[in-house]
Amino acid sequence: MSTQVSEVSGSQPSLRLRTIRAGFWTLGQHGFEATTRFITNLILTRLLVPEAFGEVSAALAVITGLGLISDFGVQAVIIQNARGDQDDFLRSAWVFLMWRGLLLWAVLCVICLALTIPWVHDLLPSGSVFASDLFPRLTAVLGLSLVVGEARSTAVFVNARQLNLGPIVTIDITCRIVSIVVVFAWALWAPSAWAIVASIIAGEVVRTVLSHVIVPGPRMAFRWERHHFREIVRFGKWVWVSTLGAFVSTQSEVILLGILLSSPMFGVYVIAKLLVDSGELLLSRIESALSLPVLSEIIRKRPSELRDQYYRLRLPIELASACASGILFASGGFIVGFLYDQRYAGAGLMVQIMAIRLALYPCGIIQTAFVATGETRLGAGLSTFRAVSMIGCITGGFFLWGPLGTIAGLSGFRILSSGLVLFYANKRHWISAWRELRIVPAFVAGAVVAKVAVGVMAGIGLSNIANIFQILRQ
């Protein structure tokens, strides 16, 4: 008879307590990763040229895109499905993911080989990162992370379902430490984009090994049931459409800009994106860790409380999002000038433009409720609209206003897609118009604080990080 993870881990605390614990684990993890990423980024921008960041970012976009367009929502199936914590189902899902990883890497290698064909290579803009002779080799090697990553234990997903994030966060922090050691050692020995590639693969190897060692749950084995595969595909067919749209609306941003922008400017954009994503990544981590498990449980047990519980869950996210957006909008130029040298000066205005989309991030969280209620077809339609609006806004912005127009398009599409999500959520009485407007005062407060802080720092002569070391030496 199939056993369940819950039988091993014992009785569970209340949903509220599990949510609070999961939130603290997620905040602690992000705090560590954001701090180390910030320090690592500052050092690497002085060891590597901007083009190195662009090459790796473009390769990751292609790899992530392949993963998204072939995603059948295995994690969502495990979290949402009543049988998602059964041992035999978890093992079937693991085998499914293993085969998927191998097939994806094979497809990626074919794509990389195609890019080396002269007539295909000549189709790419000569100054773009995709036209680099290094790009196909770098992408094929980095694609090994697909094979390794898909071999991690599916017990990770069922622990996420139960909001038991302690082991997952421990693994993530360990992987981060390993990646940092590898990237610095390689960059000092041979400064190139390969340093970042090696660190990513090393981190994935450690993550996969530890997922089988320290995460509570059944041990994985090459055993599967065909009806489990059919169940995954049946549920995942609309998730696939949804994630296909998610690929276009997230990773196509990097791919399109990699084609439209010159390689040095694309590298500058990557730095600007890293600064904005440092805030959005925290919000995404909290949302992905909490929203689907929490909303799914509420819908299963107390559907009448969905609106109030949703806004209670969202409040800290929207306050952080709007405040961070206001700060970046008011001080993006100063932040870039303070942290980086003149090669990255153009990132300042990009940060200010992209800050607008950060303020709108909370408006899209309610889309998770469509998955939690089984309305995967509507979720797929919303993701498709998001993808189409992304491409339209980026390309339209480029032809109307040039390179900065593409950056403005990144904020424009978020306005359109968020509006449509709120429209359908309002039809189901899941949201409140007044509560949605709470982001406005938080945005203004963040902008005011940033202006005051910039004025103070400029007044005491702190216009660049190097000034701090000069003051300390005096």
Q: What is the pLDDT of residue 205?
A: 94
Q: How far apart are CA 167 and CA 210, in angstroms?
A: 9
DSSP-derived 3-state class of residue 427: helix
Q: What residue ranges do the domains of the chain occupy?
A: 1-244, 261-474
Q: How many alpha carbons lie under 13 Å from residue 306 in its C-beta half-sphere?
A: 24
| Residue 31 tokens, joined | 């705090």
Q: What whole-number distance in Å separates Cα of residue 322 and Cα of residue 417? A: 18
Asked if residue 146 lies in contact with residue 70, where contact means CB atoms within 8 angstroms, the answer is: no
Per-residue pLDDT of the chain (474 residues; tens, 9 = 90+): 444 444 444 455 665 666 666 667 766 776 777 788 878 877 887 788 777 888 888 888 888 878 776 666 676 677 666 665 677 788 888 888 888 889 999 999 999 999 888 888 787 777 778 888 888 999 999 999 988 988 888 888 777 767 777 788 888 889 999 999 999 999 898 888 899 999 999 999 999 999 898 888 888 778 777 777 777 767 666 566 666 655 665 666 777 888 888 777 888 888 888 888 877 777 776 666 666 667 777 777 777 777 777 788 788 888 888 998 999 999 998 988 888 878 888 889 999 998 988 888 888 777 777 766 777 678 778 877 887 888 888 888 888 888 888 888 888 888 888 888 889 888 888 888 888 888 899 999 999 999 999 888 888 777 776 666 555 455
What integer pLDDT is reported at residue 305 of this predicted model? 74
Integer CA distances (angstroms), 220 to 90, 209, 473, in order: 8, 12, 56
pTM for this model (two decimals): 0.63
pLDDT at 3: 46
- Position 2 scores a pLDDT of 45
The 3 state secondary structure assigned to 45-63 is HHHCCHHHHHHHHHHHHHH
Residue 115 Cα to chain centre, angstroms: 27
Measured between alpha carbons, how far is residue 155 from residues 4, 164, 314 in Å?
11, 11, 27
